[in-house]
Structure 1
Amino acid sequence: MKIWQTTAFGLALAYSMPSFATEFSFDRPGTGFGTGITPVGHVAWEQSLPTVSYNKASTDNGFEKTTTIQGDMLFRTGLAKDLELQVGWDGPAWTQIKNPTQKVEDHGLGDVSVAVKKAVDLQDDQMSMALLAKATFATGNQNFTADHNIYTVGSTVDYQQNDLISTSISMFYEVQHGDWSVTAVPTINYKLSDKWSGYSEFVYRKKESQSDQTSLATGLIYALNARTQLDASVGVGLAGDTPDYFGGLGVAFLF
């Protein structure tokens, strides 16, 4: 199971931090996106440091182990009070594949994406919602590209249970080369202190003509100041009978 390609319906980030604008929150970490919009005239830079995934799959000759390290990034800027533009890049990546007969290493650059996110006013102090339209272009190097463009629409609904806990769910509908997939990500976000917060999520993804993919992830966020946050997360794939792990560190700035 390819971890970060669970790009379908990912979900809202945990309690972000004391933000520069009350409606703003960073979209990392986590599988998907939050309901906050970047203020007009500002840019949010969200960078992994990096993400790492490990997969061990059975083959006719034994086991094949794949390790991938990738430095993906996302830039967001406000177009209006309730609308933002996003430009993402899967970044530089390195992979190693080992099996009983050989070890192969490769490196390259990943795909580029462009998205628009719009906040939806629900007239509710506790509930917020955002919609996302995204196109991922297969511009990356061989072995580090999706091969065909991916077009995604998504939604996130977040409910503030109390001062310490919020719950959310993100849904994504994705089409690639005529094949459809759907992803659902329920998430619980919790505030631990003024600067520390965390999240836990379950990811379910179903792609046409393929088996279900599921995973669990959790992470911590530290608000360095009102415009900077650090994060760390780990996760495990639940589908299949072989190990499938992922995790990483990240940093985000609001300029």
Structure 2
Amino acid sequence: MLDDLVAGALADAEDRRALRPLDLVEAAAHAAPPALDALAALAPAPRVKIIAEVKRASPSRGALAEIADPASLAVSYETGGASAVSVLTEGRRFKGSLDDLDEVRAAISIPVLRKDFIANPYQVFEARAAGADLVLLIVAALEQSRLSELHELVTGLGMTALVETHSAEEVERALDVGAALVGVNARDLSTFELDQDLFGRLADSIPAGVVRVAESAVKNAADVAHYRSAGADVVLVGEALVTSDPVRTLSEFLAV
């Protein structure tokens, strides 16, 4: 599944590149306003922080929410106390787009994450040109040399990489490239099975000074509390927010 998702994302990026060459996107990335300081926004605090996700669909659950106005949803997230907003820009299985990212960035003042299957520099320049402050890099999807190259490019453009892991080996690989924001995804992107206890098993291998993000398998406040008690500084939440009243749900989660 992960290989298919990455291949599809790269094919779609090549289609966009044919219409908007790399030199134009790179120039737009350098001309964009400076990225917001996502590490400061997500730094450890007395209470858990939330990255709230604009997510229409997923391969495992299918359609989740129509989200005709992603900017309005993002404003609700900011109003509700989210520290950052994640925007799924993958179009084939998640029904997102870079247009969603553009609209969200224009509507809110907190950091915005481009969540996609990023595997080449063109996609990173696209993210910055669209106003992203953070970019997702999935360790399982990248050879170490490419992970290092993309991490360096993300940080060189003033953004922050959320480096996603699924095992102790992947955490080590993330730390080896200098990741300051490490995510542990409870969902295995090869099988799409969930293991909510994975974060707790890996948390101690993420050193102090690196922001720890728990991803996936959040349905309610008890799940947020589970991650918080295991050492999560930040919890990334999508489905639970897009299928409920986001402001009320965020209030419950942030009370943990």
TM-score, normalised via structure 2 length: 0.31
Give the structure with the higher percent helix. 2
TM-score, normalised via structure 1 length: 0.31
Q: Which has the larger radius of gyration?
A: 1
Give the structure with the higher percent strand. 1
